[in-house]
């Protein structure tokens, strides 16, 4: 479903670009290519500019609706916090890793801080 919606969005984008390129802001777009009177009566359309303008608005609105629909269909919320690579690098440089404290060598007969006897050193 998601890929079909993306394909439809691409088709609408292509059609929108063709309709926009066919327009000319001074009124000499695709209608000027057919002669003075031919474009005004072609297929019952009296003014090509109105049709192209309506198509442009329709394709633009359709593109927005389809784009929002693709977000609703394909936008699953992530389970955990999403961090960019830049945020991760900033956290790593701000909080340097602390080295673990070195364990003190155990001497025979010594006691631990809790008063329990220390484990004997391994015999070699």
Tens digits of per-residue pLDDT, 38-93? 445 555 545 666 888 899 999 999 999 999 998 888 766 556 676 788 877 877 77
What would the pLDDT profile of 91-120 be if each residue is shown by its tens digit?
777 655 566 666 666 666 656 566 655 566
Question: Does residue 91 fall inside a structural domain?
Answer: no
Distances (CA, A) of 24 to 13, 46, 56, 96, 104: 19, 17, 13, 61, 84
Domain count, the chain: 1
Question: Does residue 118 fall inside a structural domain?
Answer: no
Q: Write out the residue range of the structural domain in which residue 13 sits.
A: 2-74
Question: Does residue 32 fall inside a structural domain?
Answer: yes
Question: Does residue 99 fall inside a structural domain?
Answer: no
Residues 6+ apart with CB under 8 A from 91: 83
Question: Does residue 107 fall inside a structural domain?
Answer: no
Question: Does residue 89 fall inside a structural domain?
Answer: no
Question: Does residue 58 fall inside a structural domain?
Answer: yes
């Amino acid at each position: 479903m998601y890929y079909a919606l993306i394909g439809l969005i691409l088709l609408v984008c292509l059609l929108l670009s063709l309709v926009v390129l066919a327009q000319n802001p001074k009124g000499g777009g695709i209608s000027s290519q057919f002669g003075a009177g031919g474009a005004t009566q072609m297929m019952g359309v009296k003014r090509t500019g109105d049709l192209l303008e309506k198509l442009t608005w329709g394709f633009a609105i359709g593109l927005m609706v389809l784009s929002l629909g693709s977000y609703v269909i394909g936008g699953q919320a992530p389970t955990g916090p999403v961090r960019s690579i830049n945020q991760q690098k900033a956290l790593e440089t701000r909080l340097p890793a602390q080295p673990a404290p070195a364990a003190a060598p155990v001497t025979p007969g010594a006691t631990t801080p809790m008063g329990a006897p220390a484990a004997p050193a391994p015999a070699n």
